[in-house]
C-alpha cells in the first residue's frame, strides 16, 4: 500500500472500545424511550449533549458506559475500518436485557467517491456483534424495543430464587440464585453472558447444557412513583461450577465474577462474594471454594472478605508462627478455603497481630515461617541457583509479600 493510500485509510479507522456504547434503561412510556434513543445517538455522533440531559429531558432512566474489551467481537486490535463518527449503540432494558442495536455514523467509505485506484469498503460492524447477543432478546426496530422497555419496567421479575437482600444508600438490592435446569434462568443467562466478553479478559461463554453451573445475580430494586410493582436493574453476576469430590462431596469454583461499571466501587462485589461464600459454608456437601484465574482487583476484594469473616469468627485466636501444615489444613477444612487462600489469610492475620504486639522475637519467627513457605513453593524455580542467590531471592520475595500484606491490613 503506497503512502497516499495508507494515509487515506488511516483516517477511517475507529477504536471499537470507544465507539461501542452500552445503555441500560427503564422508562414509563415508549415516547420517553424513543426520545432517549435519539438524544443518545445525537450525543454519540455530534458530541453536543450529555447523558444526564437525555435522561432528564426524556423521562427515561438510562445509564451508559463503554466496554473494557471488544476483541472477542472485532479482533485483537479492537478496531474497525471505513467510518467517521461511528457509534455502535447497544441498548438494553435494564432488567430483562431485551436488546436493540443501533449503528450510526457520519460517513461510510463504501459510499464515498474516490480517486484511489481501488474501492475501499467499510467493515461490517453489526453482524459480529449480533453473533454474541441473544437472538431471543433482540428487538428489530426501535419501536419494538421501546415497547419492551416499558413493559419490562412494569412487569419484569428476576429469574431464579431470591436468597438475600441488602441496602446501599437507601436503595434495596436483591441476590437471586438459579441454575440451568431452569429454562428461564438459561434464557436470561444467554442475554447476560455477553457482558463477560466485554469486561472479563479472556472470558468465554460457558456450557448452558451443564446443570452443575450455579448463577448468582444481583439486581437493584426500585419502587417508582406511580408504579404498583418494583422496577429491577441488573447490577452484576457470578457463575460457580460444582466439581465432584470423592466420595459424595463437591468443590465449588467461581468462574466469572462481574459487577457492571456503573455499580462498581459501591460494595456490591463484596456483598455478592459474601453471599456465595456464605451459601457454600452452610452446605455440608461442599468441601471448599476456589477461583478460576482471578484478577488482582478480585484478589483484593476476596482477601478482605475472607479476612473480615475469619477475624469475626476468631479463627486465628491463640495461633502464632510457626504454624504446622496440619493446623493450616484443619483451618482450610473448617472454613472451606483452599490451602493457598487460608495460608495467605493466616499470614496476613498474624502480621496484623504483630503490628499491635511489637514483639521482635515473634516477628523473627513469623519471618522465618513465611520464608520457609516461599522457599518451598519456589524450590523448583530456584533449583539452578547457588545458596547465596536462593537466599537473596527469598529475601526479596518476602519483602514484596510483607509490603503487600501491610497494604491489605490497612484496608481491613
Contact yes or no for 53/95 (Cβ under 8 A): no
CA distances from 183 to 98, 281, 298, 398 (A): 17, 28, 30, 50
Could you tell me which of 91, 214, 100 has the C-alpha nearest to residue 159? 214
Pairing of strands 213-222, 171-179: antiparallel
Could you tell me which of 222, 216, 252 has the C-alpha nearest to residue 236? 216
Residues facing residue 168 across a β-bridge: 171
Q: How many residues does the chain have?
A: 412
Q: Grid coordinates standing for 317?
A: 485466636
Could you tell me which of 229, 306, 311, 234 has the C-alpha nearest to residue 268? 234
| Per annotation, catalytic residue among 52, 165, 201, 292 | 292
Q: Grid coordinates standing for 287?
A: 468441601
Q: How far apart are CA 93 and CA 134, in angstroms?
A: 13
Q: Exposed, middle or buried, 193 (CB in 10 Å: 0-12/13-18/19+)?
A: buried
Examine the residue annotation and report whether 292 is marked as an active-site residue of this protein.
yes
Active site residue ranges: 292
Amino acid at each position: 500500500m503506497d503512502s497516499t493510500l495508507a494515509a487515506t485509510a488511516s483516517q477511517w479507522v475507529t477504536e471499537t472500545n470507544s465507539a461501542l456504547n452500552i445503555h441500560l434503561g427503564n422508562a414509563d412510556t415508549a415516547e420517553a424511550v424513543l426520545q432517549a434513543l435519539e438524544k443518545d445517538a445525537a450525543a454519540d455522533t455530534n458530541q453536543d449533549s450529555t447523558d444526564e440531559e437525555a435522561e432528564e429531558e426524556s423521562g427515561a432512566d438510562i445509564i451508559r458506559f463503554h466496554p473494557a474489551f471488544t476483541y472477542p467481537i472485532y479482533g485483537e486490535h479492537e478496531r474497525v475500518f471505513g467510518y467517521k463518527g461511528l457509534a455502535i449503540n447497544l441498548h438494553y432494558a435494564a432488567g430483562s436485557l431485551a436488546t436493540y442495536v443501533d449503528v450510526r455514523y457520519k460517513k461510510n467509505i463504501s459510499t464515498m467517491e474516490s480517486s484511489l485506484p481501488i474501492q475501499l469498503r467499510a467493515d461490517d460492524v453489526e453482524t459480529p456483534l449480533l453473533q454474541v447477543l441473544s437472538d431471543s432478546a433482540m428487538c428489530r426496530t426501535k419501536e419494538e424495543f421501546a415497547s419492551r422497555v416499558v413493559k419490562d419496567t412494569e412487569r419484569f421479575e428476576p429469574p431464579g430464587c431470591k436468597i438475600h437482600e441488602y441496602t446501599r444508600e437507601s436503595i434495596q438490592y436483591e441476590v437471586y440464585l438459579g441454575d440451568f435446569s431452569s429454562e428461564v434462568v438459561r434464557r436470561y443467562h444467554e442475554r447476560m453472558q455477553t457482558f463477560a466478553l466485554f469486561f472479563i479478559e479472556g472470558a468465554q461463554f460457558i456450557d448452558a447444557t451443564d446443570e452443575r453451573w450455579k448463577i448468582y445475580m444481583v439486581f437493584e430494586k426500585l419502587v417508582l412513583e406511580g408504579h404498583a410493582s418494583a422496577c429491577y436493574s441488573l447490577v452484576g453476576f457470578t457463575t460457580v461450577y460444582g466439581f465432584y469430590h470423592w466420595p459424595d462431596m463437591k468443590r465449588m469454583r467461581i468462574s466469572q465474577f462481574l459487577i457492571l461499571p456503573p455499580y462498581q466501587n459501591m460494595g456490591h462485589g463484596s456483598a455478592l462474594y459474601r453471599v456465595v461464600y456464605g451459601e457454600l459454608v452452610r452446605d455440608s456437601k461442599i468441601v471448599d471454594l476456589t477461583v478460576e484465574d482471578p484478577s488482582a482487583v478480585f484478589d483484593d476484594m476476596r482477601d478482605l472478605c475472607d479476612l473480615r469473616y475469619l477475624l469475626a469468627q476468631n479463627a486465628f485466636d491463640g495461633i502464632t508462627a510457626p504454624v504446622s501444615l496440619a493446623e493450616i489444613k484443619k483451618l482450610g477444612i473448617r472454613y472451606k478455603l483452599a490451602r493457598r487462600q487460608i495460608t495467605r489469610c493466616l499470614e496476613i492475620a498474624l502480621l496484623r497481630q504483630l503490628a499491635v504486639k511489637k514483639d521482635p522475637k515473634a516477628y523473627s519467627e513469623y519471618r522465618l515461617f513465611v520464608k520457609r513457605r516461599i522457599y518451598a513453593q519456589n524450590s523448583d524455580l530456584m533449583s539452578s541457583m547457588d545458596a547465596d542467590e536462593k537466599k537473596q531471592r527469598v529475601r526479596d520475595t518476602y519483602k514484596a509479600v510483607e509490603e503487600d500484606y501491610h497494604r491489605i491490613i490497612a484496608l481491613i
